[in-house]
Amino acid sequence: MSRYGPMYGPDITFLGVDRCDVADPATYAGADVVIIGAPFDGGTSNRPGARFGPMALRQACYLPHDGSRPSLALRVDALRDLRVLDAGDVECYSGDVEGSLAAIEDAVHRVASSGAIPLVLGGDHTVALPDARGTARAYEPGRVSMIHFDAHADTGDIEFGHLYGHGQPMRRLIESGAIRGDRFLQIGLRGYWPGPETLSWMAEQRMRSYEMTEIVARGLDECLTESFRIALDECDRIFLSVDIDVCDPGHAPGTGTPEPGGLSARQLLDAVRRICYELPVAGMEVVEVAPPYDHADITAFLGNRVILEALSAMARRRKDDEGGPRWDPLQPLLDGR
């Protein structure tokens, strides 16, 4: 069902964590997080190359790949304080969109059903459909909401003659009933797509989309706080989708559909940390990292750090819930606590 990189990269795991096999639940029994590669970019509308994203995200780090990453800010080592495993890559083929998506959804659902958090390395954003649907299927219907970072709404209907692609997964998710439209929060939208017809459909679903002009005017923290209230209303868990093109191309050039004027790398890392510390995350994905268009691995490094921020925040949340001294972001680094 899965393998480590023979398709699109070297035979490695994420920063050296232990391996598991999605087909054998015993290998990830008791895991907190299972990483799954989804090297699929058959849904791209502009520049392909995100199929190489999982490989880049696994290895983009200048530190030893020894399964350890202590966080200076959060005072945890997520790769050791949590049981994080890597299930390798789902076999995906650009010529078989539906078959690839079905295989990804099966892998994600198996992991979510075990009680672990599936963390998917994309791939283009087409994989949001199987990622979020596979996660939501493991829980009570209608109880998983979505927080979606992206430059684009990805709510198109039929694009280039197809129902499936990286511009349509959010519409397919809502249509399928996996995620409620009125519990679908989008952050970072900007640019010149979609058009009025698609925006009208989004309004009918009662989606909440924070365009960059609103984020600049109100502040990202205020927009996040509001989105958290909506996401947790009648929902118990969150699926977090991070399209790396939510960042300005100056911070993330290696992506298929870059759009100027986005978040900074710092804003994205802070937002992901806050979400995974404050909210009950059931599943997550980082998508649209396309190494062929990257410069000096800027985008791959950012994507890798998005994952580490998420894991570190999850580890800190658990530590605080267990009754230890709560994390204080203003705590001096060298005060010994």
What is the tens place of the pLDDT at every residue in 130-177? 999 999 999 999 999 999 999 999 999 987 767 788 999 999 999 999
Residues at the binding site are: 125, 150, 152, 154, 243, 245
pLDDT-wise least confident of 2-11, 19-28, 91-100, 205-214: 2-11
Residues at the binding site for Mn(2+) are: 125, 150, 152, 154, 243, 245
Distance separating alpha carbons of residues 169 and 126, to the nearest angstrom:
6
Look up residue 263 and give its DSSP letter: B
pLDDT digits (tens, 9 = 90+) for 5-50: 546 667 899 999 999 999 999 999 999 999 999 999 999 988 999 9
What pLDDT score was predicted for residue 337? 57
Distance separating alpha carbons of residues 35 and 13, to the nearest angstrom:
9
pLDDT digits (tens, 9 = 90+) for 253-294: 999 999 999 999 999 999 999 999 999 999 999 999 999 999
Average of per-residue pLDDT across 245-255: 98
- Average pLDDT value over all residues in the chain: 94
Number of Cβ atoms within 10 Å of the Cβ of 203: 11
Confidence of residue 4 (pLDDT cuts 50, 70, 90): very low
Average of per-residue pLDDT across 290-311: 98
Phi, psi (rounded to 5 degrees) for 62: -85, -10
Query: What are the distances in angstroms from CA 48 to CA 58, 66, 125, 216, 248?
Result: 19, 31, 12, 31, 19
Distance separating alpha carbons of residues 210 and 186, to the nearest angstrom:
6
Tokens of 47: 């520049």
Confidence of residue 94 (pLDDT cuts 50, 70, 90): confident
Buried b (16+ CB within 10 A) or exposed e, 46-64: ebbbbbbbbbbbbbbbeee
Tokens of 67: 């399964």
Q: What is the percentage of the chain residues whose pLDDT exceeds 70?
A: 96
What pLDDT score was predicted for residue 104? 97
Question: What's the pTM?
Answer: 0.96
Average of per-residue pLDDT across 302-312: 98
What pLDDT score was predicted for residue 159? 74
Average of per-residue pLDDT across 310-337: 88
Are 315 and 277 in contact, with CB atoms under 8 Å apart?
Answer: no
Long-range contacts of 7-12 (CB under 8 A, 24+ apart): 7/39, 7/51, 7/89, 7/91, 7/92, 8/39, 8/51, 8/52, 8/54, 8/55, 8/89, 9/52, 9/54, 9/55, 9/56, 9/58, 9/59, 10/55, 10/59, 12/55, 12/58, 12/59, 12/65
Look up residue 44 and give its DSSP letter: -
pLDDT-wise least confident of 79-83, 108-112, 113-117, 331-335: 331-335
Q: Is the pLDDT of residue 1 over 50?
A: no
Report all structural domains of the chain as residue ranges with CATH numbers, in order of start. 2-321 (3.40.800.10)
In sequence order, the β-bridge partners of residue 184 are 146
